[in-house]
Amino acid sequence: MSSSFGTLYKVSTYGESHCKGVGVVIDGCPPGLELSEADIQRQLDRRRPGQNVLTTDRKEADQVMILSGTENGKTLGTPIALHVNNRDQRPGDYGDISDLPRPSHADFTYQMKYGIRASSGGGRASARETIGTVAAGAVAMKVLKKKYGIEIVAWVESVGPIQASGINPDTISREEVDKQISRCPDQITAAEMEKFITELKERGDSTGGIVTCCIRNSPVGLGEPIYEKLEAKLAQAMLAIPASKGFEIGSGFAGSRQLGSEHNDLFIWKDNRLGTSTNNSGGIQGGISNGEPILFRVAFKPTATISLPQETATFTGKTETMQAKGRHDPCVVSRAIPIVESMAALVLLDMAMRQESRKSFF
């Protein structure tokens, strides 16, 4: 288990779905930052289950408490512990599937890796684990916004086969994203998505989707080649989110089919700085931010928990029919939005702090 992330802004999360609570310790947050629980709660509310008809019916208030690291509403530079109690514990829901590892879930691999596993609810592989990440990310975002004016906005680009269009990454805001419960800010597509997800929920099936994220106003110079190139750490961060299956930066997979003469981002002078006329690089060259918007996409698989019957095998290989009764999201992407933003913030702030150190020497 490696539940910590970051070199200078280091977060360590804990908690599984059915213990006393979940949380995170942030070690290395800059001192003197104004910070209240409300700053963090906002993103937790965007993440929590039961927000609307498209998500699981499992309801959790997910109220965050700051246990340490602040005084009089300001960070002290000491570890900030953030904790959320678990409330809605209904282990019975999961009780009857415990000898059958759930297909495309972590039951089998956790059992094999640890020789033991949480009896219910997915334990640490539950989506509930992401609360710590989102809380720590909310704090990071506040630092990034204050120091650099950085904005991080993610949105749903596709749900199953339904693809949005016409979204401008340079201007899109979280408010616009949240206007749709699907979190796809293309209104017409959003309606289709909602209809599709509602149908899946009724049928007991699920689907996946793609999230796009844009980081604006990043300073030039973030990223630590070779092994911690900015896109490399973003890729790690995104693939650490439950259910994610792919990551691409800038032109991504499509870019592999282009010619160099089309794909190269030519330099131009704009906004009083050297920029590029196109952004196939997705804001990163040589593993280092170049001042253009950082643009990436994350693919999520269909939710593994479905109510449809599945022919699968027990740990000892006996074939059985599984029919899950637990509450689940028919599509995770709308709730993944604040998680993607938070992981991005963790990467950016850590990189920014490392670059600040270097800059002080020249």
Nearer to a copy of itself, 168 or 261 (CB): 261
Cβ nearer to a copy of itself, comparing 173 with 308: 308
Residues 6+ apart with CB under 8 A from 309: 321, 322, 323
Least CB distance from residue 266 to a copy of itself, whole Å? Answer: 5
What's the CA gap between 39 and 34, in Å, rounded?
9
Closest approach of a copy of itself to the CB of residue 175, in Å: 26
State yes or no: 314 annotated in a binding site.
no
CB of residue 129 vs a copy of itself: minimum separation in angstroms?
Answer: 6
Q: How far is the CB of 141 from a copy of itself (least distance, A)?
A: 14
Instruction: Please tell me whether 49 is known to bind a ligand.
Output: no
User: Please, what is the minimum distance in Å from the beta carbon of residue 338 to a copy of itself?
Assistant: 16
Instruction: Residue 142: count other Cβ atoms within 10 Å of its Cβ.
Output: 20
327 marked as part of a ligand binding site:
yes
Nearer to a copy of itself, 45 or 228 (CB): 228
Q: Which amino acid is at 285?
A: Q
* Crossing angle between the packed helical segments 333-359 and 37-47, to the nearest 10 degrees: 140
124 is an annotated ligand-binding site residue: yes
Nearer to a copy of itself, 50 or 77 (CB): 77
DSSP for 293-349, written as a single string:
PEEEEEEEPPPS--SS-EEEE-TTS-EEEE---S---S--HHHHHHHHHHHHHHHHH
Q: Distance between CA atoms of 110 and 106, rounded to whole angstroms?
A: 6
Q: Give residue for tokens 């340079």.
A: 170
Nearest to 182 by CA among 173, 172, 174, 192: 192
Nearer to a copy of itself, 188 or 225 (CB): 225
At its nearest, how many Å lie between a copy of itself and the CB of residue 312? 5
- Exposed (0-12), middle (13-18) or buried (19+): which is 254, by Cβ within 10 Å? exposed
Residue 273 labelled as part of a binding site: no
Q: What is the H or E stretch that residue 94 is in? A: helix 92-95
Decide whether 175 or 200 has the Cβ nearer to a copy of itself: 200
User: What is the rounded radius of gyration, in angstroms, for the C-alpha atoms of the chain?
Assistant: 21
Region of 6 on the Ramachandran plot (φ > 0 left; ψ -120 to 50 alpha; else beta): left
Min dist. Cβ of residue 26 to a copy of itself (A): 9
In order, the DSSP letters of 112-141 are: HHHS---SSTTGGGSGGGHHHHHHHHHHHH
Contact in structure between 54 and 160 (CB atoms under 8 Å): no
| In the complex, minimum distance from the CB of residue 60 to a copy of itself, in angstroms, rounded to a whole number | 16
The sign of the torsion formed by the CA atoms of 267, 270, 272, 276 equals negative
Q: Which is nearer to a copy of itself, 198 or 357 (CB)?
A: 357
Would you say 216 is a known binding-site residue? no
Tokens of 17: 């779905």
Find out whether 286 is annotated in a ligand binding site: yes
Distance CA 140, CA 135 (A): 9
Closer residue to a copy of itself in complex, CB, 138/306: 306
Binding residue numbers:
47, 124-126, 286, 301-305, 327
Binding residue numbers for NADP(+):
47
Binding residue numbers for FMN:
124-126, 286, 301-305, 327
